[in-house]
């Protein structure tokens, strides 16, 4: 087993950023955990069943409070920002965030506290390194606690829930940084640090020039860390499936990657449908990734009647859609999608000809509202540019506009 922690790079501005005399004690205190918190913890080949465990962490700005059991709610809120992925020996990607128990989160907080803050009895060799990381991070004791917090606990949990693995296949995140649905959600990663940075600017503890330099350093160091993490995950995935996915305009969507990989016999047909309808990427991943084979009675019914008419029964809509997509037949896919969303065939046919990139890949509930809105309009009244498409999406779901 190979353990690795991914941290942000050091910049010359860090010495000023952590100098309380230069930026004030509040910002300096918040800057230390920003610089020292690992962005991701990786375990390569933790067991024969797993190629990679990776834990992407939010910043531990309130670590001193979270280590106090009274503030257990803070620990749970912090845990919501964690991304915990696993890649198995078959190269499928799993999202195990909802298996992180309160006990595991507490052990993780304790191990991060040991990582970030030297103990009172530390020797001079335990001083902080130039990049802000405590030298204790390199000690075996800390690494053992980190692995015990996740590796031992999670391996035990996953081994006992082997039949449940399929329910945890990753469905929603993308590997590309700075995109909608990215695995790396910067807005929730360091709110305390950004809040103190703006506070220091408003109270003239720092000037606009220094503020701009800090923002540029954030962009550079976070982008570098995100690219390294994405490259390590991508290196464990199946390359042929990634190539097929890359040709679909859907990007490195982990749910669509799993969808193509788990249906290797129909991967080409699935990639074809995804290439025609990249806006449906999240819908395909959420709806079809774990579709089960149809029962024998359904096969007999389909053989006795018109195949498409039998498959499009509402009680069997999900399986009908899977069968249609895996067939690779344009007309069948269009009609099945129209039946699934209860819209006219012409709506799906028009999107099949031209699927707008401006919509991205909205979640299924939002996509359905957009399609119903389009169903109400004649095609000549449809949006003609990106701004109009976004406006239609907002009007389809008014809460989004707010």
pLDDT digits (tens, 9 = 90+) for 323-348: 899 988 999 999 999 999 999 999 99
3 pLDDT more than 60: yes
Average of per-residue pLDDT values in the chain: 79
The residue among 391 and 187 whose pLDDT is bigger is 391
CA 7, distance to chain mean position in Å, is: 19
Q: Is 7 helix (H, G, I), strand (E, B) or coil?
A: coil
pLDDT digits (tens, 9 = 90+) for 226-236: 999 999 999 99
DSSP per-residue codes, 90-132: T--EEE-GGG--HHHHHHHHHHHHHHHS--TT--GGGPBPTTS
pTM metric for this prediction = 0.81
Q: What are phi and psi of 94, to 5 degrees?
A: -120, 150
């Amino acid at each position: 087993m190979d353990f690795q922690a991914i941290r942000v790079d050091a910049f010359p501005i860090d010495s000023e950023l952590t100098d309380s005399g230069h930026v004030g004690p509040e910002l300096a205190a918040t800057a230390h955990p920003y610089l020292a918190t690992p962005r991701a913890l990786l375990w390569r080949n933790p067991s024969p069943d797993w190629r990679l465990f990776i834990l992407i962490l939010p910043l531990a700005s309130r670590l001193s409070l979270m280590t106090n059991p009274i503030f257990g709610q803070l620990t749970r809120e912090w845990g919501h920002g964690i991304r915990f992925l696993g890649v198995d020996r078959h190269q499928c990607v799993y999202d195990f965030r909802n298996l992180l128990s309160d006990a595991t989160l507490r052990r993780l907080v304790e191990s991060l506290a040991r990582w970030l803050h030297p103990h009172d009895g530390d020797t001079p060799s335990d001083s902080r390194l130039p990049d802000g990381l405590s030298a204790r991070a390199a000690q075996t004791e800390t690494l053992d606690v980190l692995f015990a917090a996740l590796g031992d606990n999670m391996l035990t949990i996953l081994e006992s829930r082997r039949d449940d693995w399929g329910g945890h296949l990753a469905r929603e995140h993308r590997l590309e940084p700075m995109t909608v649905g990215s695995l790396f959600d910067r807005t929730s990663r360091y709110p305390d640090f950004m809040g103190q940075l703006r506070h220091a600017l408003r109270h003239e503890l720092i000037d606009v020039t220094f503020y701009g330099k800090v923002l540029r350093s954030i962009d550079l160091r976070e982008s570098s860390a995100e690219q390294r993490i994405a490259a390590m995950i991508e290196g464990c995935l199946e390359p042929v499936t990634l190539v097929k996915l890359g040709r679909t305009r859907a990007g490195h969507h982990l749910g669509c990657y799993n969808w193509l990989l788990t249906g290797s016999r129909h991967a080409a047909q699935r990639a074809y449908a995804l290439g025609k309808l990249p806006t449906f990427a999240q819908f395909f991943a959420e709806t079809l990734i774990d579709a089960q084979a149809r029962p024998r009675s359904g096969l007999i019914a389909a053989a006795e009647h018109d195949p498409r008419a039998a498959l499009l029964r509402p009680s069997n809509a999900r399986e009908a859609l899977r069968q249609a997509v895996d067939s690779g037949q344009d007309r069948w896919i269009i009609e099945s999608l129209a039946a699934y969303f209860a819209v006219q065939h012409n709506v799906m046919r028009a999107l099949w000809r031209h699927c707008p990139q401006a919509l991205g890949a909205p979640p299924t509930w939002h996509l359905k509202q957009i399609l119903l809105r389009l169903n109400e309009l004649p095609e000549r009244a449809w949006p003609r540019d990106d701004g109009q498409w976004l406006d239609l999406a907002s009007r389809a779901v008014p809460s989004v506009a707010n």
